[in-house]
Amino acid sequence: MSDTSDLLFTGADWDFEKVQRAYDAIEQIAKGEMGLVTYPNQIEVITAEQMLDAYSSIGMPLMYKHWSFGKHFARDETLYRKGMRGLAYEIVINSSPCISYIMEENSMAMQTLVIAHAAFGHNHFFANNSLFRQWTDARGILDYMEFAKSYIAKCEERHGHAAVERVLDAAHALMSHGVHKYPRKRTPDLRDEEKRAAERRAYQEQMFNDLWRTVPKKAAAKMDSQELAERKRRLGLPEENILYFLEKLAPKLADWQREIIRIVRKISQYFYPQKQTKMMNEGCATFTHYTIVNRLHEMGKLSDGAMLEILHSHTSVVFQPDFDDRRYSGINPYALGFAMMNDIKRMCEAPTDEDRAWFPHFAGNGDPYGTLREAWADYRDESFILQYLSPALIRKLRLFKIHDESDSPHMNVAAIHNERGYREVRKALARNYDIAHLEPDIQIVDVDLAGDRRLILHHFVESGQMLDEAETIRVLRHIANLWGYEVRLLEIESGTDVVLKTYDDVAPVAEL
């Protein structure tokens, strides 16, 4: 039994001295033993109401005003006050310094857990994963959010709250279709965004005027295939980043409206890597906090009582209901991520013959933390599952694949626990984390420049998954409001080019 003088803290109450002492001990293990590399940390203690406010504004410390944030705050606060939902123990911001918000209501044991989880687990993943390094500017995001907040506030003063809100409503409706999905030529630097705004507007005005100056004079003029191809080339079509296209080429938008669309688009791009790495990111953070608190307990720095409190919270987070449990709502990303990280560690330290056959490149290498750091840096959820999900873990989690056709009264168990089945299960599970499969593929394919300037979009339908009609019409209306003219959408079956449904000529209803 360790002497109580070795403990980082005693009792449930915390103070800043205890938090600092715990942080120093956690940092020593995270960086000294696990080899984690992080952004500088900034830890802020907030109240429950401040946590609810952070929820409502997508977790950002600086955010412009919009009615939807207030709506989310009112809903979350009502549920919280009625005891119908809890609050997260922390929120962490992908920035440099990395900001971790911890709740003042947390006990000291929970503060220890969330510092290990957020300030070192999530922080390391943000700082090292290739998607985050490629698509986000952690050092510039806080400055950019300050610019965005002040810019939109100035627009409200100059053009009126209602006018700004209409642009934001339309842009928010299209946020998931406002990202570039392929690498850009340079790393973004959001700190210089305000400085470049004037140059960008001048360039866009020149490009915009040149495009619309060359519109054919006769509406009925027919274009041959070469002219059509040239028109699409000049327009950059097809284009799946709808907000980008509207920002650059919508004929009726004012400069301030284009800048607001750009702000929403930049924020959407900032969150794009998080959508692709939810399971890995949470798995990394959960594995990190579990490893660190166990080491602290082994070293006599955490009491048995504190460790039991931490483990109670940990097991709740990684709990995975069975498929026939009424609480089942899918695979818990914390559970799968943590299980895969632990399984990789097991295979590095004590592999079976099966592990060596399936994973010869790292099984038995004796370097679990190095192997994990490499995986955290180079993969996203889909590719991580394809590369690292083992037959042993498939058996442990009792995973299997179901083939379910909507027009068939029966389901078919399509893959079980044999060599072929393991590969099928792994492939099917990975597909469920593929953003390209989860989000509809909608592209702007043409603009009727010679006629009524109608914007034409295609939705390429996969596996028969059609768009919801009412929701689609509402979103098309937002596109039409930004474009200024009618919009048409065709739902086309991928692979056959058969038109399944047409949304004809949705017209703008609001003058932006």
pLDDT at 6 over 90: no
In degrees and rounded to multiples of 5, residue 414 shows phi and psi of -95, -15
The per-residue pLDDT of the chain, averaged, comes to: 88
For 399-449, how does the pLDDT look when each residue is reduced to its tens digit (9 = 90+)? Answer: 988 887 777 788 887 777 888 889 999 999 999 999 888 899 999 999 877
pLDDT tops 50 at residue 336: yes
Q: What is the pLDDT of residue 200?
A: 59
Count other Cβ atoms within 10 Å, centred on residue 81. 11
Q: What does DSSP say about strands 487-493 and 455-461: parallel, antiparallel, or unpaired?
A: parallel
Cβ-contact 468, 231 below 8 angstroms:
no
pLDDT at 89: 66
For the cut 80, the answer to whether the pLDDT of residue 505 exceeds it is yes
Q: What is the pLDDT of residue 451?
A: 73
150 and 280 co-located in one domain: yes
Assess if residue 66 is contained within a domain.
Answer: yes
| 287: CB partners within 8 A, 6+ apart | 121, 337, 338, 341, 342, 345, 372
Q: What angle do CA 91, 93, 95 make, to 5 degrees?
A: 160
Is 241 among the domain residues? no
- 456 in a structural domain: yes
| 242 and 178 Cβ atoms separated by less than 8 Å | yes
Q: How high is the pLDDT of residue 418?
A: 84
Indicate whether 354 and 497 sit together in one domain: no
The answer on pLDDT for 217 being more than 60 is no
In one-letter notation, the amino acid at residue 32 is: G
Same domain, 138 and 193: yes
The distance from CA 279 to its chain's CA centroid, rounded to whole angstroms, is: 11
CB burial of residue 387 (10 Å; 0-12, 13-18, 19+): middle
Residue 186 pLDDT: 53
Residue, of 95 and 210, whose pLDDT is higher: 95
For residue 203, pLDDT over 70 is answered with: no
Q: Choose the final residue of a domain: 436, 453, 482.
A: 436
- Residue-level pLDDT at 209: 56
- When divided into structural domains, the chain yields a total of 3
What is the pLDDT averaged over residues 18-43?
Answer: 97
The Cα 69–Cα 53 span in angstroms is 8
Q: Which amino acid is at 359?
A: F
Question: Same domain, yes or no, for 138 and 158?
Answer: yes
Domain membership flag for residue 326? no
Domain co-membership, 465 together with 426: no
End-of-domain residue from the set 403, 436, 469: 436
Q: How far is CA 442 from CA 251, 431, 466, 469, in A?
A: 21, 19, 12, 15
Claim to verify: residue 167 and residue 281 sit in the same structural domain: yes
Evaluate if residue 2 carries a pLDDT over 60.
Answer: no
**Does any domain span residue 222?**
no
Q: What was the pLDDT predicted at 219? A: 43
> What is the three-class DSSP state of 141?
helix
Would 255 be classed as within a structural domain?
Answer: no
Taking only the tens place, the pLDDT of each residue in 127-146 is: 999 999 998 999 999 999 99
Let me know whether 393 and 377 are in one domain: yes
Is 122 in the same domain as 199?
A: yes
Q: Who wins on pLDDT, 191 or 283?
A: 283
Is the domain of 448 the same as that of 299?
A: no
Distance between CA atoms of 387 and 426, rounded to whole angstroms? 9
Task: Write out the H or E segment, with its range, that includes residue 101.
Answer: strand 98-103
Whether 354 and 465 share a structural domain: no
Res 95 pLDDT > 80: yes
Higher pLDDT, 198 or 217: 198
- pLDDT (tens digit, 9 = 90+) per residue, 233-257? 888 889 999 999 999 999 999 999 9
Predicted local distance difference test score (pLDDT) of residue 419: 84
Lowest mean pLDDT among 70-74, 256-260, 275-279, 339-343: 70-74
pLDDT of residue 425: 92
Residues 200 and 271 in one domain: yes
Which amino acid type is present at position 86? G
Select from 388, 404, 436 the last residue of a domain.
436
Give me the pLDDT at residue 409, please: 80
Residue 85 forms part of a structural domain: yes
Are residues 99 and 32 part of one domain? Answer: yes
Percent of the chain having pLDDT more than 70?
87
Percent of the chain at pLDDT exceeding 90: 66
Q: Which two tokens stand for residue 94?
A: 């992908």
Q: Which domain holds residue 416?
A: 345-436
Q: CA nearest 248: which of 453, 450, 483, 426? A: 483
Q: Is residue 335 part of a domain?
A: no
Nearest residue to 81 (alpha-carbon basis) of 46, 45, 47, 48 = 48
pLDDT of residue 220: 39
